[in-house]
Amino acid sequence: MAEKITAAQRKYFDNRIESALNDKISSLKQQDASNVHVISSAAFTKYLNLIGIKKDLDRYRVVNQTHKELQTKLHDVYSEIRRSMNIDQFNGNAPHVYEGSDYEAYEKGYKYLCQKAALKAEGITPMGKEISRLKEQMNSAKDVLYGVNELPELLKCVNGILKEAEVPLLGDGKDE
């Protein structure tokens, strides 16, 4: 009758056998890697049809491309508006919007830009009209302090340029 082996001996032999055979199997798999690649590339479309996702994967490719194009456009427009409004990209108050941002980030970013644009549109609301009036008074007072009204020819020349640019004139605006 054969001697019995212990559980530890069984585990040891099992590990040795598995290790020896796995090394050989790994070596053969490496040698066969290019063949596997050729076979899988040739059979890929058939495989997708077999598992029933070929149409879904094709549709995903189109949707994904459209998604990337929309993200790029939304980011480019957002960045351009931000630059035109002199809002620093890393302004702590501004939402962080990147080309790969999700819908919520873009919505938050555009709401922020809308709010900034609305703040610059003084004169629409009663409070905005009052703010605009006070700013005009402040500018008029500064014009007096800096002697802008005391240089009529210079004021007339500068206001002529500003009038063409359709921006607020210096002084009281009568010397245009």
- What pLDDT is stored for residue 164 in this prediction? 79
Task: Quote the tokens at residue 39.
Answer: 């076979």
pLDDT tens digit at each of 176 positions of the chain: 568 889 999 899 899 999 999 989 999 988 888 988 899 999 999 999 999 999 999 999 999 999 999 999 999 999 999 999 888 877 677 888 888 899 999 999 999 999 988 887 777 778 878 888 888 888 878 777 677 667 777 778 788 888 877 777 776 655 55
Residue 62's alpha-carbon distances to 57, 70, 81, 100, 102, in angstroms, are 9, 12, 29, 17, 18
- What pLDDT is stored for residue 124 in this prediction? 77
Q: Where are the alpha helices (DSSP H) in 32-175?
A: 33-51, 54-84, 103-120, 126-145, 152-164
Q: CA 71 to CA 85: how far, in whole Å?
A: 21
Q: CA 56 to CA 33: how far, in whole Å?
A: 28
Q: Which distant-in-sequence residues (6+ apart) come within 8 Å of 173 by Cβ?
A: 159
Contact 114, 100 (CB under 8 A): no
Task: Quote the tokens at residue 43.
Answer: 């059979």
- What pLDDT is stored for residue 172 in this prediction? 62
